[in-house]
Amino acid sequence: TVDTRIVEIGGATLLLDQQIRRDDHTLVQIDVLLACIGPDGRPRRLPPGLRAALRNLPS
14 lies in some domain: yes
Question: Side by side, which strands form the sheet with 13-22?
Answer: 2-9, 13-22, 25-35
Question: Which run of H or of E encompasses 3?
Answer: strand 2-9
Please give the pLDDT value at position 39.
Answer: 96
Q: Torsions phi, psi of 28, nearest 5?
A: -145, 140
45 lies in some domain: yes
37 lies in some domain: yes
Q: Are 42 and 11 in contact (CB under 8 A)?
A: no
Please give the pLDDT value at position 7.
Answer: 96
39 lies in some domain: yes
18 lies in some domain: yes
59 lies in some domain: no
Q: Are 13 and 45 in contact (CB under 8 A)?
A: no
Full domain range(s) for residue 18 = 2-54
Q: Mind listing the pLDDT tens digit for each residue in 15-56? A: 999 999 999 999 999 999 999 999 999 999 999 999 999 999
Q: How many domains does the chain have?
A: 1
24 lies in some domain: yes
Please give the pLDDT value at position 58.
Answer: 81
Average pLDDT (1-9) is 95
Question: Which run of H or of E encompasses 20?
Answer: strand 13-22
